[in-house]
Amino acid sequence: MLRIRGTVGDLPVDLTIELDDGDWARLGAQLQATPVASAAAAPAAPVKHNDDLWQNAQDLLRTAGQLSGLELLDQLEGLAGDASAGKRLLVRLRHSANVKVSSGGDTPLYTWIEPL
């Protein structure tokens, strides 16, 4: 028997899970079959990838000079590989000191500003 007690938000939780010997054996076999990656090795690659991605996003706007928000988002999504990563890059560019965001009618205009 496995008992879990705590809260989810303001709601109290008291959950009891009953497993027989066969269930425990299958659970143990499943846990042994699933390899666990080293926690120390995992963060090194994504950090480099994120740095490269950020540099490429800046280069994209720097090269274009100025893009509408929709065009920039579309290109960032392609660069990043998915919509959520593209949106994160767009927000990061919006808050960058080298980017000026101005009203362009229906969509904002993102303009690259060279540092002095």
Distance CA 28, CA 19 (A): 12
pLDDT (0 to 100) of residue 18: 84
Q: Which amino acid is at 111?
A: T
Q: What percent of the chain has pLDDT over 90?
A: 41
Q: What is the pLDDT of residues 42-74, one digit of tens each?
A: 555 555 567 889 999 999 999 999 999 999 999
Residue extent(s) of CATH 1.10.10.10 domains in the chain: 44-112
Distance CA 102, CA 88 (A): 19
- Among residues 95, 100, 94, which one has the least CA distance to residue 113? 100
Does residue 67 contact residue 75 with C-beta atoms inside 8 Å?
yes
CATH tag for 44-112 (out of 1.10.10.10, 1.10.3720.10, 3.40.630.30, 1.10.390.10): 1.10.10.10
Q: Facing residues of 108 across strands?
A: 103
